[in-house]
Chains A and B, each alone.
Chain A
């Protein structure tokens, strides 16, 4: 831009750079309100949250507010329940995403072949993803897991005996509901991947003597890799923040056995009214999430634009 084509006595560079600056500001100015809005609704609350986290402040005791430095963070680090919630979050997220991905791949492989009524089956399989999360959780809590009239107990009762699933296996029950909701998403992503698989490559493998399972392992799975990575990362970003199912199905209980981090923070903030503590947890969780998400997103972007891209 600043390269001058002909020698000139006038300091062309300064004139040009001033006008460039004007031009670029005239382009940026219309975007400014949006930027201000984003800062006001995201960054300002974040800064306020950090400030809260440095105070001891419980709404139940008016006038208790005082600056305590990092004491809240020390407390978070030593809070056993927080650690349980952290473990639960990891287990719930990893379990949900991995299991729904495995089932999603299997269903996608089934849907990738032609059979009578395929579009009906596909629509039915997608439906769980379209149900509102709260409604789905309510449905699972009552119609499926209810100890007196739930379908799960009715079907499994004769095999494994009468079990109150939501209190015996609270985290697993929540996970089952979330897997039910997330499988269609994984299935759709993987199906898109399967349909972009070149047919002549599959034919070539068949001629080369590969059996269907070998073709799946040697060619289809590597081709699906980036679709699976995308599904896992997107799924994890959502599932890590899951609140509805836990709130509806178990309320985090019994005890904290099915509490995840968002639910624990909610409890501390809106049931315990401990603003300082919950703000500190929020900051810790946010920092952790950003760290994990950054690594995960970098992983997807390299696999979508990087060297491994399928030809």
Chain B
């Protein structure tokens, strides 16, 4: 077990005009489950592969348990990796796959068998130990890949989108299993995903990346409640946060004809600006109660709730989504929308940075 520290770690692919990972700083505590999340091409995999020793660290450094990893080959880093396509050894049985790293580290045959059996029991793989990967289902292969990582008892687990090849239901199920397994083993884990739901549900802390740069590194709750910029605000949460460009008028916001009052701290933060980007999550809009008129374009019934999509009557270019109880609204209807002043996010209209608390 060890802590992991990215210190201005940078990776530039040959021929690329900008770094794939740009001066990344992350301090990951011993035993922590950290998720790297971001859209495709944001450098998540590259950041993980730098930790695993599969990409060069071109500048800065990465330390595992305080030891600098620059120039250290993968095999000497004492990490285990789960690949997106699992990368099982096709010519080896499940047991041989799982025992391979132990064999490479010169562990005796009896000890190897004991540990493989133990890991197999943990992952329900015992009946499959003699099979080749070809004869396994997607979910079973995924578990073998996990098993191969855990028999090692490594310092760090690296996982690159290990669930993306599973169907939706299995993914949700496996998600909780992996999180539970990690808590139980207490091994520091860096987990890459493009799925913000996975990130929010699994991670102790989540690092949001965009174009190789770290946007925010915080707990899921913090990311949700206090996104540092518009990108994080839009990326975390589904449906995405509503964003409206509104006028600032004497310490309050003017949305169409409606005036939304601000708290003292928020008013201070927007002082000097004439416009500001207002962010509000769908569940923080009260539907049916407010004065702002919304024309309903679409109602999405989820069973437990429904989401109402529509546009402002006063400003037809501005569309909004709000959460409502089920079955109360219909398409084409005009409903009133109310804001909860305590649940507003304010962002700078140009830079997109968060303003105020």
Contacts and interface: CB of A to CB of B under 8 A. Distances in A.
A204 B85 CA distance: 11
Majority secondary structure of chain B interface residues (helix, strand, loop or mixed): loop
Contacts of B52: 203, 207
A208 B91 contact: no
A218 B132 CA distance: 15
Given A206-B74, A207-B53, A223 B100 contact: no
Contacts, number: 76
Interface stretch (A66-74, A145-153, A183-191, A303-311): A303-311
Interface stretch (A11-19, A165-173, A209-217): A209-217
Nearest to B104: A209
Contacts of B53: 206-207
Given A218-B100, A309-B134, A206 B75 contact: yes
Contact of B91 (A200, A203, A308): A308
A211 B85 contact: no
A254 interface: no
B229 interface: no
Given A200-B83, A210-B75, A310-B90, A205 B100 contact: yes
A156 interface: no
Given A200-B83, A206-B73, A211-B75, A310 B91 contact: yes
B87 interface: yes
B148 A222 contact: no
B329 to A, nearest CB: 49
Contacts of B88: 201, 204, 311
Contact of A207 (B80, B84, B132): B80
Given A206-B74, A208-B104, A210-B75, A200 B134 contact: no
Given A210-B104, A311-B134, A205 B80 contact: no
A203 B54 contact: yes
Interface residues of B, number: 29
Contacts of A288: none
A198 interface: yes
Given A207-B54, A214-B104, A219 B91 contact: yes
A204 B81 contact: yes
Given A219-B89, A222-B91, A311-B90, A209 B83 contact: no
B159 to A, nearest CB: 12
Contact of B87 (A200, A210, A218, A309): A200
B133 A208 contact: no
A88 B258 CA distance: 101
A127 B75 CA distance: 39
Nearest to B54: A203
A205 B134 CA distance: 18
Interface in B116-152: 132-134, 148, 152
A223 B87 contact: no
A310 to B, nearest CB: 4
Contacts of A208: 75, 80, 100-101, 104, 148, 152
Contacts of B184: none
Interface string B16-34: 0000000000000000000
B322 interface: no
B105 interface: yes
Contacts of A311: 88, 90, 133-134
A50 to B, nearest CB: 46
A223 B91 contact: yes
B79 interface: yes
Contacts of A214: 104
Contacts of A307: 132, 134
A309 B91 CA distance: 8
B89 A207 contact: no
Interface of A: 198, 200-201, 203-211, 214, 218-219, 222-223, 307-311
In order of increasing CB-CB distance, the 6 nearest A-B pairs are A208-B101, A222-B91, A200-B87, A204-B87, A209-B104, A310-B90
29 contacts: A200-B83, A200-B85, A200-B87, A201-B87, A201-B88, A203-B54, A203-B74, A203-B87, A204-B87, A204-B89, A204-B148, A205-B89, A205-B104, A206-B54, A207-B80, A208-B75, A208-B100, A208-B104, A208-B148, A208-B152, A209-B104, A210-B100, A210-B104, A218-B100, A307-B134, A308-B91, A309-B134, A310-B91, A311-B133
Interface of B: 52-54, 73-75, 77, 79-81, 83-85, 87-92, 100-101, 104-105, 132-134, 148, 152, 158
